[in-house]
Amino acid sequence: MSNFFSSSIGRKVTMSLSAIFLMTFLILHVTVNFTSVFSEDLYNSLSHFMGTNLLVQFILQPILIFGVVFHFVMGFILESKNRSSRGVNYAQYEGKNNSSWMSRNMVYSGLVILAFLAIHFIDFWLPELNTKYIQGDMSGMHDGAFRYYDELSHKFQPLWRVIGYCVSFILLSLHLFHGFSSSLQSLGIAASRKKLLKTIGQVYAIIIPLGFIIVAIYHYAIH
Amino acid sequence: MNLTLKIWRQKSRKDKGGFVEYKVSEISGHMSFLEMMDVLNEELIAKNEEPVVFDHDCREGICGSCSMFINGEAHGPDRGVTTCQLHMRKFKDGDKITIEPFRAKAFPVIKDLMVDRSSFDRIQQAGGYISVNTSGRPTDANSILIPKEDADLAMDAATCIGCGACVATCKNSSAMLFVGAKVSQYALLPQGKVEEKERVRNMVAQMDLEGFGACTNTGACEVECPKGISLDNIARMNRGFIGSWLLGE
């Protein structure tokens, strides 16, 4: 099996599987975030469940982190190998005449998403780890009430943060526009279903980032 | 029309190479691109200069020999044609045309615009065939019934002329459209199905060995392919390759 994973198609397959895993996670993430728009209590309850459930914390979360790291590392390995396959670059290369900007620049949209994730981890994940596992406070409470909604709302007060957040999710949308259908193509999904899957991918690439953006703008606007 | 040609000149595989500009005049729009190159070469020979070396053979879009990267696109700005079928009417009087060889590590330049595409031959040799025992009692091919749809798809894949435009165009220098077509043309037919698993494994292994990049599904190869080979062939190859590992020999 080692030959499979070291082959060009094998690497593409692992890249696709990690992408599909991350796209599934995004559905869950945006759903939880979006509850904050219409129910503070529901958002607090879901956040507390996700933040304290042992299965989520000690099995799903490490798998997720592995998936994120794997997707980025494999992405850069493939990009590096692909770039070296050219040898001498063209003096004139008109990629815009035969392919989309998104498809040619996955590494750049990926880099923006990586930068966003670093900030996101510093903003939310690391403080959460500190509160729960270093300070040992698993209650999820602050001043007698659940803290999750207030923390989320507080993060979206500065305008620069909201703008940065929206730009990152626009880049995610562009990444998904190509990534969704590309991951299925790499897995060899039958051509007969290609048109339908492409439409589903385009809807997904708009709906998911839009959901995150609405949450950010909503919390900025109501305060 | 009068044109300025910016052409890549390289004396040998080891030479660094560089661009040289030439002027050509009174070029007819009815000429093919290669005929325009012939005019230039005749002028160069008359001046006792070295003519520009480029690949060509049939000059009717069948052999897959011609291989120029013209104004940033494999086989130039037209669609569904090879360089030999590209007419000069696609250009305007006074245009400056940049002409480069197909660029890929697996396609090293031999001289000027001529590149070594023997890596494609080696991929074919790794499995792009069916083994037929010549027992003296052959079965009539027509006795094996093949659905029309499968026959058509196999024929579509088999129209690949192996010119290498897919590799030249792909930002990753990937040969997966070529290999996908060659895998598909056999995998779709009962005679080819017998060796399907080892064929796809061996051809992909050779493709990787030659140093081609991996497909990122930009679709550029499908657009620039003079024979319109579909990306579906790459999906079929991927499916076959994954299946060969999951299901074993």
* B123-177 pLDDT per residue, tens: 999 999 998 777 777 777 788 899 999 999 999 999 999 999 999 999 999 999 9
The candidate with the shortest Cα–Cα distance to B167, out of B176, B154, B159, is B176
Say what the ipTM of the complex is.
Answer: 0.92
Distance from CA of A20 to the nearest CA of B (A): 15
The yes-or-no verdict on residue A101 having pLDDT over 90 is yes
Spell out which residues of chain B touch residue A84, defining contact as CB-CB under 8 Å.
Answer: 105
The candidate with the shortest Cα–Cα distance to A181, out of A99, A98, A67, is A99
Fold of B118-247: Fumarate Reductase Iron-sulfur Protein; Chain B, domain 2 (1.10.1060)
Q: Cβ contact (<8 Å) for B213 and A81?
A: yes
Q: Identify whether A47 is part of a domain.
A: yes
Which residues are bridge partners to B96 per DSSP? B4
For B16, nearest residue in chain A (alpha carbons): A88
B70: three-class secondary structure by DSSP: strand
Length of chain A equals 223
When divided into structural domains, chain A yields a total of 1
DSSP string, chain A: -HHHHHSHHHHHHHHHHHHHHHHHHHHHHHHHHHHHHH-HHHHHHHHHHHHH-HHIIIIIHHHHHHHHHHHHHHHHHHHHHHHHTT-SPPSS--GGGTS-HHHH-HHHHHHHHHHHHHHHIIIIIHHHHIIIIIS---S-EETTEE-HHHHHHHHT-SHHHHHHHHHHHHHHHHHHHHHHHHHHHHTT--GGGHHHHHHHHHHHHHHHHHHHHHHHHHHHHH-
CATH number of this structure's domain B3-111 = 3.10.20.30
Helix axes A159-186, A194-222, angle to 10 degrees: 170
Q: Identify whether A131 is part of a domain.
A: yes
Say yes or no: B224 contacts chain A, CB-CB below 8 A. yes
pLDDT by residue (tens digit) across B213-239? 999 999 999 999 999 999 999 999 999
Alpha-carbon gap, residue B187 to B189, rounded angstroms: 6
Which residue, among A99, A105, A109, would best test binding to B if mutated, counting the most B CBs under 10 Å from its CB? A99
Return residue ranges of chain B for CATH 3.10.20.30: 3-111
Q: Cβ contact (<8 Å) for B214 and A82?
A: yes
Return residue ranges of chain B for CATH 1.10.1060.10: 118-247
Residue contacts between A and B (CB atoms, under 8 Å) = 144
Distance from CA of B134 to the nearest CA of A (A): 34
Judged on CB neighbours under 10 Å (0-12, 13-18, 19+), B23 is exposed
Instruction: Report the percentage of chain A scoring pLDDT > 90.
Output: 80
pLDDT by residue (tens digit) across B30-81? 999 999 999 999 999 999 999 999 999 999 999 999 999 999 999 999 999 9
Cα atoms found within 13 Å of the Cα of residue B137, Cβ hemisphere only = 0
Q: Identify whether A91 is part of a domain.
A: no
Distance from CA of A211 to the nearest CA of B (A): 27
Select from B100, B208, B217 the Cβ nearest to the Cβ of A186. B217
Domain encompassing residue A47: 2-81+104-222
